[in-house]
Chain A
Amino acid sequence: MSPKDTQDKSHNDSPPSQGVNRREFLRRLGITGGGIVVFSPFGPKASWAQRRRTLSRSGFLSANVPTDFNAFLRISADNRVTCLTGKIEMGQGVITSLPQMLAEELDVPYESVDIILGDTDLCPWDAGTFGSLTTPYFGTFLREAAAEAKGVLKELAAERFNCPVSQVKTKDGTAFNKKNPSDKVTYGELTQGKIIERHLDEIPLLKKPDQFTIVGTPRLSRDVEDKVTGRAKYAGDIRLPNMLYARILRPPAHGAGLKSADTTEAEKIKGVKVIRDRRLIAVLHELPDVAEEALEKVRAEYDLPEPAVDNTSIFKHLEDSAPSGQVFKAKGSLETGQKLSAKNFTATYLNHYVAHAPMEPHTAVVQIEGDKAIAWISTQTPFWAKRDVARALRFPSENVRVITPFVGGGFGGKTSNQQAVEAARLAKLAGRPVQVAWSRKEEFFYDSFRPAAIIKVESGLDLSNRIAYWDYDNYFAGTRSSQPVYDIPHLRVMSRGGWMSAGRAHPFRVGAWRGPGSNTNVFAMESQVDLMAEAAGLDPLEFRLKNLKDKRMRRVLLAVSEKFGHSFAKAPSEKGYGLACSDYHGTYVAAAAQVSVDKKTGRIQAERVVLAQDMGQIINPAGAEAQMEGCVTMGLGYCFTEEIRFKGGQVLDENFDTYELPRFSWLPKIETVLINNPAMDPQGGGEPPITVMGAVMANAVYDAIGVRLFELPMTPARIKKALG
């Protein structure tokens, strides 16, 4: 991941202050007085510096993470453990996998661990939940905190048993003297009535994978019972006394200027409160449907800019407005590679804007009491929301508490918090708690889309059918996964504009979309590889293996083809088989698929998708498989239908009637293979599998009908047009 890819401009500002001292932290946890806590800072500064170095590639992700392990966990008198994390749960399963990691390292039963997520008063600072980074980064912090806590507990036990620390062992939340097993004490008893400040001279070694008993075993998601009974609370389910529901006047297009707004008719509705604050015009009511009715009565006029671009002209526009390219990767000399080439391949790959479309639109509730505010927000970035809400209210950051209930899907779209700022401003002006819940139309309008992007590739094969060179020019996709996994002696990968820092090229906001950059890059790269495989007269697996030394990727490809169970043949075989692979932040994925194409209607049906994934150590295999399955079907959307239609700043797709999401009838048979690779540290799993979907579907469609589509989504119209 390049720094460019990770640094949203809004995330570059100074981080929200912790603003909570230890006493206040403990008070908020309700564990002062008779409560019990082991209090110990992380090791001496030298160790901390070393730790920071080992995690330095995480950059801003770790910069403001607390060093005190009490920020990550607490042990209560009854020996229950609470895992504290600034991460949030949006379906990706960290509510389950993080307690597994904590329980493993601390040596407590998994069932004894509770978890608090995304509460900025209780949880350690966190950069946000995105990029499949929770397990590799936060997971590491959590494990280290647990390891140090366990080390301190062992010292306390050794003092109690009057034995050397080396004699103390831990198991199931208990420390005991291995030479005298009757000497034993629970963690809770050990710290009874004391707040102990102590640190270890060295950060203890983390457990080795062969010592794991909790990590690596499948666990059912912790939140299932709450979710099947309707008890699970999302931001829109928060009910406060005196709360008002706000509906906000929205422009018909991005860039439209408000000329006038007449709220007279809206104000006639009983109980309606109209708020005008600069450009923010809102109607509020104790009932959301009445607020909606009132909004419909607001008469507004706008100056509409002349639409400059639409979804048919966007690619030319992007090419024209692209900044100069920057070299992302380079090796050898393209000129030499071109001279060595016997066959050359030139292609341009396109993909359109794609919406996140979580089932839960952006929602926030803000309550202000005196100079303090609490905000319940549907967000992937609670600590940035805290800063944003504080700024909107002109409150010091420490006076704002963000609580993140369950998040109803995010996929990268809930990393900015406009709705929370709106709710905060309105709550202040109304003097009452306010809920802002976007309608589906607002969600389509203000969502940051996955950017439309262009990839131009030139490549060549030498006489022995090895890839001789690779010249890759990327417009606006972002660089992630654009590093070829193949052995190519001469290559250059250029990037023009990332998925966030695109300036004014796009008519609306773009941003991270599950596997940002990678979906586009892998579509282009792995389609291009298939072009070359066919010209080489080789089947797609054989060609890949011939050009691939990376042992991990070879293993993933072989695993997926074995599970697939059919031999690949030189395309087009008319069987509709496809193959593709991807390296996403170190998680390796390969997909094999079978599709059928109705040439009359142009409709594609994915019949079967097999995925193999090497994510290093696997924390919760059940959760990893669920993510893989979800990625397959969600990914079919950007393959087949999902494309934002727009005219200038006007977003024409406003709901699920025209913007088609995958649904039950699209379901392929899905099979998953998890590669056992305990020697590698755990990598992320929420996004990687979706990144192969564009390529594997395009390759399978080509194998089925002998026609290749270079533009996603492969709509029926585009298939029919390509067939001629």
Chain B
Amino acid sequence: MAGAVNFTLNNKPVSLDLDTSRPLLWVLRTDLNLTGARYGCGQGLCGTCTVLVNNQARRSCVMSMAEVQGAEVMTVEGLAGDGKLHPLQKAFIKHDAMQCGFCTSGMIMSAYGLLKRNPSPERSEIIDGMEGNLCRCSSYTRIVQAIQTAAVEMGRRRKT
């Protein structure tokens, strides 16, 4: 179904005329040339394509553009503000929490969604919250540590 979709992408308004049944992932990657969100499974099973939609982590491979109408979408490219890395990005670097890096954008965006919902999660809550994201290189230990570090830093920033 062709139509106009208006939404906010990384804090900037976007208006697109397209088939509104198209998946958000491919619109981001092709029409909008944001390649940080990546295809891993196409069925919402691996989390590699995760972006934030209205502050919730969503699988962009199974989300249609119609669902994005009027929403706020954030991709990994929108995370660093004013050229400064987000605490989650810094924490992933600090803990070297990736190997091949293909899942990393999705991991970071899922973690961001988790921390929006639960700013100071227990370790077990991090594991529950991230359970749908796969990392074949298995950097899981370091990703958990990175999320813990980021949660502390984001908490500190909120207080100051």
Q: Which residues does A use to contact B, with CB under 8 Å? A: 90-93, 220-221, 223-234, 236-237, 239, 245, 286-290, 357-361, 406-409, 411, 437, 439-440, 622, 626-627, 629-634, 655-657, 661-667, 670
Decide if the interface of chain B is mainly helix, strand, loop or mixed.
loop
Q: Could you tell me if A357 and B77 are in contact, using CB atoms closer than 8 angstroms?
A: no
Q: Could you tell me if B35 and A230 are in contact, using CB atoms closer than 8 angstroms?
A: yes
CB distance from B105 to the nearest CB of A (A): 5
**What residues of B have a CB within 8 angstroms of the CB of A440 in the complex?**
40-43
Chain A CB within 8 A of B108 CB: yes
Q: Could you tell me if A360 and B102 are in contact, using CB atoms closer than 8 angstroms?
A: yes
**What residues of B have a CB within 8 angstroms of the CB of A361 in the complex?**
39-40
**What residues of A have a CB within 8 angstroms of the CB of B76 in the complex?**
228-230
**Can you give 11 contacting A-B residue pairs, CB < 8 Å?**
A91-B98, A91-B100, A229-B36, A234-B38, A236-B35, A289-B26, A409-B99, A626-B99, A629-B139, A667-B144, A670-B141
Known contacts A224-B98, A228-B93; A629 and B138 CB within 8 A of each other = yes
**What residues of A have a CB within 8 angstroms of the CB of B96 in the complex?**
220-221, 224, 622, 626
Q: Could you tell me if B43 and A655 are in contact, using CB atoms closer than 8 angstroms?
A: yes
Chain B residue, CB-CB nearest to A238: B35
Q: Could you tell me if A665 and B127 are in contact, using CB atoms closer than 8 angstroms?
A: yes
CB distance from B104 to the nearest CB of A (A): 5
**What residues of B have a CB within 8 angstroms of the CB of A237 in the complex?**
29, 35, 38
Complex Cα gap A663–B130 (Å):
9
Chain B residue, CB-CB nearest to A661: B134
**What residues of A have a CB within 8 angstroms of the CB of B160 in the complex?**
none
Contact of B134 among A288, A290, A359, A667 (CB under 8 A): A359
Complex Cα gap A664–B139 (Å):
9
Interface string of B80-116 (1 = CB under 8 A from A): 1000010011001100101111111100100000000
Contact of A287 among B26, B41, B77, B127 (CB under 8 A): B26
Complex Cα gap A228–B141 (Å):
17
Q: Could you tell me if A359 and B22 are in contact, using CB atoms closer than 8 angstroms?
A: no
A228-B104, A627-B99, A663-B132 known; 17 other A-B pairs, CB under 8 Å?
Answer: A91-B98, A228-B76, A228-B92, A228-B108, A230-B76, A288-B26, A359-B40, A406-B101, A407-B100, A409-B137, A440-B41, A622-B96, A629-B138, A630-B137, A634-B136, A661-B134, A665-B127
Complex Cα gap A234–B105 (Å):
13
Complex Cα gap A665–B123 (Å):
11
**What residues of A have a CB within 8 angstroms of the CB of B22 in the complex?**
287, 289-290
Q: Could you tell me if A225 and B93 are in contact, using CB atoms closer than 8 angstroms?
A: yes
Chain A CB within 8 A of B56 CB: no
Chain A CB within 8 A of B140 CB: yes
Total contacts A to B, CB within 8 angstroms? 175
Q: Could you tell me if A626 and B139 are in contact, using CB atoms closer than 8 angstroms?
A: yes
Q: Which residues does B use to contact A, with CB under 8 Å? A: 22-23, 26, 29-31, 33-43, 45-46, 48, 75-77, 79-80, 85, 88-89, 92-93, 96, 98-105, 108, 126-128, 130-144
Complex Cα gap A305–B30 (Å):
39
Q: Could you tell me if B99 and A92 are in contact, using CB atoms closer than 8 angstroms?
A: yes
Chain B residue, CB-CB nearest to A287: B30
Q: Could you tell me if B26 and A91 are in contact, using CB atoms closer than 8 angstroms?
A: no
Q: Could you tell me if A632 and B138 are in contact, using CB atoms closer than 8 angstroms?
A: yes
Top 10 A-B residue pairs of the complex, sorted by shortest distance between their CB atoms:
A230-B36, A408-B102, A91-B99, A91-B100, A227-B101, A633-B138, A237-B35, A230-B76, A228-B89, A289-B26
Complex Cα gap A667–B134 (Å):
12
Q: Could you tell me if B136 and A411 are in contact, using CB atoms closer than 8 angstroms?
A: yes
CB distance from A684 to the nearest CB of B (A): 15
Q: Could you tell me if A359 and B89 are in contact, using CB atoms closer than 8 angstroms?
A: no
**What residues of A have a CB within 8 angstroms of the CB of B46 in the complex?**
359, 656
Chain A residue, CB-CB nearest to B101: A227
Complex Cα gap A66–B24 (Å):
47
**What residues of A have a CB within 8 angstroms of the CB of B37 in the complex?**
230
Contact of A359 among B29, B79, B92, B103 (CB under 8 A): B103
* Most B CB within 10 A of own CB, among A224, A358, A361: A224
Q: Could you tell me if A406 and B100 are in contact, using CB atoms closer than 8 angstroms?
A: yes
Known contacts A229-B89, A289-B23; A359 and B130 CB within 8 A of each other = no
Q: Could you tell me if A224 and B138 are in contact, using CB atoms closer than 8 angstroms?
A: no
**What residues of B have a CB within 8 angstroms of the CB of A626 in the complex?**
96, 99, 139, 142
Q: Could you tell me if B99 and A359 are in contact, using CB atoms closer than 8 angstroms?
A: no
Complex Cα gap A655–B98 (Å):
23
Q: Could you tell me if B141 and A663 are in contact, using CB atoms closer than 8 angstroms?
A: no
Q: Could you tell me if B45 and A655 are in contact, using CB atoms closer than 8 angstroms?
A: yes
Q: Could you tell me if B99 and A93 are in contact, using CB atoms closer than 8 angstroms?
A: yes
Chain A residue, CB-CB nearest to B109: A230
Complex Cα gap A226–B36 (Å):
10
Complex Cα gap A639–B142 (Å):
22
CB distance from B73 to the nearest CB of A (A): 14
* Most A CB within 10 A of own CB, among B37, B40, B98, B102: B102
**What residues of B have a CB within 8 angstroms of the CB of A357 in the complex?**
136
Q: Could you tell me if B89 and A664 are in contact, using CB atoms closer than 8 angstroms?
A: no
Q: Could you tell me if A359 and B85 are in contact, using CB atoms closer than 8 angstroms?
A: no
Complex Cα gap A623–B157 (Å):
31
* Most B CB within 10 A of own CB, among A289, A626, A657, A664: A664
Complex Cα gap A665–B26 (Å):
30
**What residues of B have a CB within 8 angstroms of the CB of A662 in the complex?**
138, 140
